[in-house]
Amino acid sequence: MESTAINCTHERDQIAAFRDKGVWIFVGIDLVVFALFFLVFLVERSAAVAVFQQSQQQLNEHIGFANTLILITSSWLLVKSIRSMLVNQKLGRFYLLASMLMGMLFVFSKLFEYKAKFDAGIGIVDNTFYTFYFVLTFIHFCHVVGGLIALNIIYGCLKRPATVPVKSEAESVAIYWHMVDLLWVFLFLILYLLN
Amino acid sequence: MKSALLHNEDLVWVALIAVTITSWFLFEKMEAVAAVYTIILISGLKVGAIGVGYMEANRANRLFRYFFSAWCVGVTVVIALFRLLQH
């Protein structure tokens, strides 16, 4: 009986270690892909600085700034959630919910920004800058939505009685969520601030 | 001391918010070329702080730690270089 329990714990630890490694590999690949996106953007920008600068001025940098604060705060709340998860599950759930709400705020803010652009007659094929703007921010947007789905699953697990240890799963999702946050920092820089 | 500060998520958050507001102020008010490079540097530092303070990249295996440091520095330097070459 005892040996079965030990085997179970050992197996769970192995799965957690394997998942952890998988998340770091995934994050690494994603970072490389985004680094290539940034590089291509910068090369294209250097070929048409005037077009890029003119188009950049049409972006709402206030929304970009607000989105940066939102994602930073969401990451912070997620860290607080994970650190309080084992001590006080209720508090962990509260912080997780708050983190998800900030993520949703980012989604709504981004959708609002897209709508404003489409309403102004600006589309993905208008010029190279807008192609990059829509493609890069939409890929990032999909990352945010994916992260929110994963956080929602963790939240669902936390609501059940504390029989299933979800801290390591939550940590894996958090690594991904922080990656989404740090990618936005560079996206905000090259799309909005580099003028 | 440095490590303890970076592991305090509240301090990291305050620092990130403060430097984000600083870079916003530089973007809005400053015309100087140095302001642009300061904004780029701040972004690089922010990414590093998120990686170490929140993501705990320093807890990952050694290969990822080196990769992440190189990624942060590399992307920041490339952005700064392109900016330099364009003007």
* Contact partners, residue A78, CB within 8 Å, separation at least 6: A95, A96, A99, A151, A174, A177, A178, B54
Q: Where are the beta strands (DSSP E) in A35-92?
A: none
pLDDT of residue A1: 47
Minimal Cα–Cα distance from B65 to chain A, Å? 10
Residue B2 pLDDT greater than 60, yes or no: no
Q: Are A78 and A177 in contact (CB under 8 A)?
A: yes
Chain A residue closest in CA terms to B37: A194
This prediction has a pTM of 0.89
Per 3-state DSSP, chain B is made up of helix, strand and coil in percentages (nearest 5) of: 85, 0, 15
Residue B11 pLDDT greater than 60, yes or no: yes
Amino acid at A104: M
Closest by CA position to B40, among listed B53, B23, B16: B23
Q: Angle, to 10 degrees, between the axis of helix A128-159 and the axis of helix A49-56?
A: 50
Q: Across the interface, which of A39, A46, A178 has its CB nearest the CB of B50? A: A178
Q: What is the pLDDT along chain A (195 residues), one digit of tens a residue?
A: 455 545 555 665 666 666 677 888 999 999 999 999 999 999 999 998 899 999 998 899 999 999 999 999 999 999 999 988 878 888 889 999 999 999 999 999 999 999 999 999 998 888 999 999 999 999 999 999 999 999 999 998 887 765 455 777 888 899 999 999 999 999 999 999 987
Chain B residue closest in CA terms to A63: B24
* Contact partners, residue B31, CB within 8 Å, separation at least 6: none
- What kind and span of H or E run contains A47? helix A2-47
Chain B residue closest in CA terms to A174: B55
Q: Are A106 and A140 in contact (CB under 8 A)?
A: no
Which residues in chain A touch residue B6, judged by CB atoms under 8 angstroms apart? none
Q: Angle, to 10 degrees, between the axis of helix A167-188 and the axis of helix B33-49?
A: 170
Contact criterion met (CB < 8 Å) for A72 and B17? yes
- What kind and span of H or E run contains B86? helix B62-86
- Identify the residue whose tokens are 């789905």: A149
The ipTM is: 0.90
